[in-house]
A and B are shown apart, each in its own frame.
Chain A
Amino acid sequence: MPTPRFTFHQPQNLEQALDLVGMYRTNGKILAGGTDLVPKLRAGLMDVHHVVSLNRVPGLNRITFHEDDGLVIGAGARLADVALNPEVMKHYPGLAHACSVMATTQIRNMGTVAGNIVNSAPSADTAAPLLAYKAAVILVERGGRRHVPLTEFFSGPGLNVMEPMEIMEAIRVPSPPRRSGSAYLRLSARSKVDIAAVGVAGFLALDMDGVIIEARLALAAVAPTPLRCPEAEAMLAGQKPDPQLLTRAAAACVRACRPIDDVRATAAYRRKMVQVLAGRVIEQCYQTAERGDA
């Protein structure tokens, strides 16, 4: 494959970046960590003449948390920084876990959470926990800014609702209530340093009697996009978990997924693993939630 040739732009602020992205909307690409983009360019998978880096735009890499507003992850925040952020570890353990186990050390040091979402791989590790946390993304363009709930963001493998002149500025995640718990579990053929073959994230909020007020479950790598499991969530809401309910909810997750056979696993194995991991995730969420103040 011949080496791709392109012009590399390093805007100094968001306005410049938006101008460039607007100008090159037909043959330009945005680079944050570059861990997905660069391999694709090298493989000649895209016809790109301009690459616009966000790395010199100040403030984009911030990670902030307020009890009232929740978490804001700037588009430039690296996976490794999110993984080790004390607030993320405390309030969003599923996301912290996803950011700490996905890919490799080198990729985690360069790659960003926003990039992982924009890349929109069905197997995106951060997508499942962010879906379970009811995250939304902030998209900006020259003269406009919109919030898109993550549930409405993905439209297919590698596809999403972003317009060519838009930049993802940040990801917003609401603050979790007290007595809630969350988790993310993933599975792959190699025990470490690997892409997920199946990923399941969960979030449970309980009332004082231990009854589930709200449940959210999300799956990765088992459908054309990461997705939520409304049927299972509805099944759990208003209930106290018991082994039977767990099994039924996990089975409902299996009904939500649409896996394929590929080089990483067969559809049959993926379905079975959704069942196993969903059960474990719900249980883990419940246990942390019961412990109280998370």
Chain B
Amino acid sequence: MNHPSIIGASIPRLDGRAKVTGRAIYTDDIKAPGMLFGALLRSPIPHGRIKRIDVSKARALAGVKDVIVGADTPQIKYGNWRLVPASQDELPLAVDKVRFVGDEVAAVAAVSSDIAQRALELIEVEYEELPAIYSVEEATAEGAPLIHEESQGNVSLVRKIEYGDLEEWFAKADLILEDEFKVHAVSHAYLEPCSSLAVPDEGGRVTLYTSTQTPYIVQCLLAHTLGIPENYVRVMKTQVGGGFGGKMELRPWEFSASFMALRTGLPVKFTLNRAEELSYGRRRHPMSIYSKVGFSKDGKLLAKDFQVMLDGGAYNAMGPTATFLCGTFGNMLYNFPAYRYYGRHVYTNKPPASAMRGFGAPQAAFANETQLNLAAEKLGIDPIEIRLINAMQTGDVIPDVATVSSCGFKECLEKVREISGWDAKRQAKTPNKGLGVGCFSFISGGVFNWFDTKYNFSAAEVKVFDDGTAQLASMACDIGQGTDTVLRQILAAELGISIEKIRLIAMDTAATPKADLGSWGSRVTLMNGNAVIQAARKIKDMLVPVLFSQFDLNQIHDVAFEGDEVFVKANPKKRMSFAECVYKALRGRRGEPLSAYGYYTPRDKGLVSPAFSFGAQVAEVSVDEDTGLVTVDQMYTAHDCGVAINKMAVEGQLEGAIQMGLGYTLSEQFVMREGHTLNNTFLDYKMPTAEDMPPSVYAEVETYEPEGPFGAKEAGEGLAIPTAPAIAHGVFEATGFRCRKLPITPERLLRGMGKLR
């Protein structure tokens, strides 16, 4: 395909310089006149009833301006799944019960942060402790105490998928494998802890500056919980230091800041610290997975029975979506005739799990990919070969889900085999070293409208001016992944103007068109990119007549937009600058500005996603057989993200994904005792640092996605999926120990190798 040259260019982030020089403004940097400082009182127990709260001493402390508890608030439950009101199980501040250590019970606003902290110590809460549950097995056992009385045995949501005759296909299978896998919780560990500043506006309105990846969702749910009209709330996203799924819901500090700002008439700010984030923040879902697969002797996957219990913690959060998607990821990579998924989202007395980069896929892939490697071994087939035998291809149908409109999976497998030196290295077999493979597929945004928005999923407003510049207004959210740059590239490409000429307004729910569901599910490039293109085309429709009348063109001609100029395609001498063209159009419209809206909602694209990315990764690992330490020596990745809009940004996504995958596989975990998180610093929460990063080489397998802007699809989350199975497989090749549990700590590995009892 022929793209404008800005598509596929490696353009450094337009916000990069401000960020690395410390000049970018994050929420906590903003100081409003008269601002109060908020602090949250959290439950010290994992499960209990609130018998009594006395805030009188806190209220009496000099400098305290407001203290609120659940009873002071409208007590309206919320949750992201508005489509299923029964799933909305959270209150901004606990009213009758607390369900995890850290559950928010009261909030204070004071003239200084020290006074707010001291006030917290003066609030008296009397609890009646209830028995607490820490695992899905306990939670679903007969007679387990109910964390939410209205749930069915602590199961908040069930998702079933079934097609093909499972019994029949298992009967045909030559090899049947049954395995159990356990994966754990990890932290999003975004560098910017959550921060929110609410500023009261005239007429009972409120403006909320907040570190979020979903301004529109926060706007709607905040208005709902405050009991005020949706458009009385204006959400201003500032620079956001990462989200990874951890900032995509309304959160208690956003509510408390706004509620107290409205009560006191003063701005109120809350900023969390790292210990709070690690102790009480959202996490990736731990899962208990049972998987049964059947293969023919020549390696064809015939049937899969996939049963998953997600440990959701105390509230649903984004758990329902993870439960749905986990099932969908169970059959997205390989084409096979019979599949059954039974997923249950289970409450426990732990900090709620929620969306996290990969959204149910890293967990599913660890099980699925590991099992594929097991099958390859049992059948005597090369692990890459067995994937080629089963790989999804362009035009394949995922039953009840979608038709795969572009797929470079097989090419990725071939490519990664080549760049990793797979065949030669496997033959050579160096002691204590191993090569492992893992693969992924991911969605480019979701189709299922769980938020029940009445607006389009993405929107853009484009304005052009007679100085040759343009303005793009969009609710899409750059949280560090680079979409502010990518969306401008798309607009620059479509209008044929330089990227520097585009101003972006992207943080304001009052000034940008409705709506945008936010940055999650790898949706922004495809969905918002399409909205931008639609708006830009409408603008071009307003400009084209200028050329036709200027040059008295025959009806058969077409007009090109390129290099800040507009010209007749068949006769490029007939041209004018973009600025002049806008000027003339403006004259012709008697001063009415040129502006246009564009929208995108996936339609007739099944239930899951309009497009799917694919890829394969190989990890080369070394194991110290005495200490159990695993070193990843080299990563090789081949992936298909359609047409990469910004190659440098895609590479950044890959590097970040490897860092997250490395921690997920080897070192990161929460050490918990009776509901308390014991490792709440980066000293003891072992996230890999820059110094731990393995070298990485990669290859892009370019496909053209017809539904994507300029052929693009997702490049954000999918890459976070294959690393765990790839490293785990490498560890097996090096040691002979097949780890079915994450993380692969040195101790677990030594025990697995029989070297530690």
Chain A residues within CB distance 8 Å of chain B:
1-3, 187, 189-195, 263-266, 268-269, 272-273, 276-277
Shortest Cβ distance from A1 into B: residue: B117
Asked if B746 contacts A190 (CB within 8 A), the reply is no
Q: Which of B677-696 contact A (CB under 8 A)?
A: 678-679, 683-684, 686-689, 691-692
Q: Which residues of B contact A272 (CB under 8 A)?
A: 750, 755-756
Q: Report if B626 contacts A (CB, 8 A).
A: yes
**Top-6 shortest CB links A-B:** A2-B114, A192-B691, A269-B747, A263-B671, A276-B626, A193-B689
Asked if A2 contacts B692 (CB within 8 A), the reply is no
B625 to chain A, nearest CB (A): 10
Asked if A195 contacts B756 (CB within 8 A), the reply is no
Q: Which residues of B contact A268 (CB under 8 A)?
A: 747, 756-757
Shortest Cβ distance from A2 into B: residue: B114
- State the interface size on chain B (CB cutoff 8 A): 27
Shortest Cβ distance from B745 into A: residue: A189
Q: Which residues of B contact A1 (CB under 8 A)?
A: 117
Q: Report if B49 contacts A (CB, 8 A).
A: no
Query: Contacts A263-B679, A266-B747, A272-B756 known; A189 to B686 CB distance under 8 Å?
Result: yes
The contact of B118 among A2, A193, A273, by CB within 8 Å, is A2
A195 to chain B, nearest CB (A): 6
Bound complex: CA A17 to CA B117 (Å)? 34
B619 to chain A, nearest CB (A): 15
Asked if A193 contacts B691 (CB within 8 A), the reply is yes
Asked if B627 contacts A190 (CB within 8 A), the reply is no
Bound complex: CA A266 to CA B747 (Å)? 8
Q: Which residues of A contact B629 (CB under 8 A)?
A: 187, 191
Shortest Cβ distance from B116 into A: residue: A2
Q: Report if B667 contacts A (CB, 8 A).
A: yes
Q: Which residues of B contact A193 (CB under 8 A)?
A: 689, 691-692
B671 to chain A, nearest CB (A): 4
Bound complex: CA A3 to CA B116 (Å)? 11
Shortest Cβ distance from B115 into A: residue: A2
Q: Which residues of A contact B113 (CB under 8 A)?
A: 2-3
Task: Tell me whether chain A's interface is mostly helix, strand or loop, or mixed.
Answer: loop
Asked if B627 contacts A187 (CB within 8 A), the reply is yes
Query: Contacts A194-B686, A276-B627 known; A189 to B117 CB distance under 8 Å?
Result: no
Q: Which residues of A contact B745 (CB under 8 A)?
A: 189
Q: Which of B689-731 contact A (CB under 8 A)?
A: 689, 691-692
Chain B residues within CB distance 8 Å of chain A:
113-114, 117-118, 626-627, 629, 631, 667, 671, 678-679, 683-684, 686-689, 691-692, 745-747, 750, 755-757
Kindly list 8 other residue pairs between chains A and B, CB separation below 8 angstroms, not including A194-B683, A195-B684, A269-B747: A3-B114, A189-B667, A189-B745, A263-B671, A265-B747, A266-B747, A269-B750, A272-B755
Asked if B671 contacts A191 (CB within 8 A), the reply is no
Asked if B746 contacts A269 (CB within 8 A), the reply is yes
Q: Which of A189, A193, A263 has the most B CB atoms < 10 Å from its CB? A: A263
The contact of A189 among B626, B746, B756, by CB within 8 Å, is B746
Shortest Cβ distance from A103 into B: residue: B683
The contact of B692 among A192, A263, A264, A265, by CB within 8 Å, is A192
Asked if B631 contacts A191 (CB within 8 A), the reply is yes
Bound complex: CA A273 to CA B628 (Å)? 10
Shortest Cβ distance from A43 into B: residue: B275
Asked if B688 contacts A190 (CB within 8 A), the reply is yes
Q: Which residues of B contact A264 (CB under 8 A)?
A: 684
Q: Which residues of B contact A266 (CB under 8 A)?
A: 747
Shortest Cβ distance from A268 into B: residue: B756
Query: Contacts A189-B686, A269-B747 known; A263 to B627 CB distance under 8 Å?
Result: no
Q: Which residues of A contact B689 (CB under 8 A)?
A: 190, 192-193
Q: Which residues of A contact B678 (CB under 8 A)?
A: 263
B684 to chain A, nearest CB (A): 5
Bound complex: CA A289 to CA B687 (Å)? 38
Shortest Cβ distance from A277 into B: residue: B627
Asked if A273 contacts B686 (CB within 8 A), the reply is no
Shortest Cβ distance from B663 into A: residue: A190
B25 to chain A, nearest CB (A): 23
Q: Which residues of B contact A263 (CB under 8 A)?
A: 671, 678-679, 684
Bound complex: CA A189 to CA B688 (Å)? 10
Q: Which residues of B contact A192 (CB under 8 A)?
A: 689, 691-692
Q: Which residues of A contact B750 (CB under 8 A)?
A: 269, 272
Shortest Cβ distance from A264 into B: residue: B684
Bound complex: CA A263 to CA B668 (Å)? 12
Query: Contacts A189-B686, A192-B689 known; A273 to B627 CB distance under 8 Å?
Result: yes
Q: Which of B117, B689, B692, B747 has the most A CB atoms < 10 Å from its CB? A: B747
Asked if A190 contacts B114 (CB within 8 A), the reply is no
Bound complex: CA A187 to CA B747 (Å)? 12
A183 to chain B, nearest CB (A): 16
Query: Contacts A2-B114, A269-B746 known; A190 to B667 CB distance under 8 Å?
Result: yes
- Of the A-B pairs whose beta carbons lie under 8 Å apart in the complex, a sample of 12, sorted by A's number, is A2-B114, A3-B113, A189-B667, A189-B745, A190-B692, A191-B629, A194-B683, A263-B678, A265-B747, A269-B747, A276-B627, A277-B627
Shortest Cβ distance from B672 into A: residue: A263
Q: Which residues of B contact A276 (CB under 8 A)?
A: 626-627
Bound complex: CA A265 to CA B629 (Å)? 13
Shortest Cβ distance from A190 into B: residue: B686
A200 to chain B, nearest CB (A): 12
Shortest Cβ distance from B671 into A: residue: A263
Q: Which residues of A contact B667 (CB under 8 A)?
A: 189-190
Q: Which residues of B contact A190 (CB under 8 A)?
A: 667, 686-689, 692
Shortest Cβ distance from B118 into A: residue: A2
Shortest Cβ distance from A266 into B: residue: B747
Q: Which residues of B contact A191 (CB under 8 A)?
A: 629, 631, 692
B752 to chain A, nearest CB (A): 13
Q: Which residues of B contact A269 (CB under 8 A)?
A: 746-747, 750, 756
Bound complex: CA A273 to CA B118 (Å)? 45
Shortest Cβ distance from B670 into A: residue: A263
Q: Which residues of A contact B627 (CB under 8 A)?
A: 187, 273, 276-277
Q: Which of A189, A190, A277 has the most B CB atoms < 10 Å from its CB? A: A190
Bound complex: CA A37 to CA B691 (Å)? 26
B660 to chain A, nearest CB (A): 14
Bound complex: CA A121 to CA B263 (Å)? 48
Bound complex: CA A168 to CA B172 (Å)? 77
B154 to chain A, nearest CB (A): 28
Q: Which of B117, B631, B746 has the most A CB atoms < 10 Å from its CB? A: B746
A281 to chain B, nearest CB (A): 13
Asked if A195 contacts B747 (CB within 8 A), the reply is no
Shortest Cβ distance from A270 into B: residue: B747
A116 to chain B, nearest CB (A): 15
Bound complex: CA A269 to CA B536 (Å)? 62
A243 to chain B, nearest CB (A): 14
A199 to chain B, nearest CB (A): 13
Bound complex: CA A140 to CA B679 (Å)? 38
B653 to chain A, nearest CB (A): 23
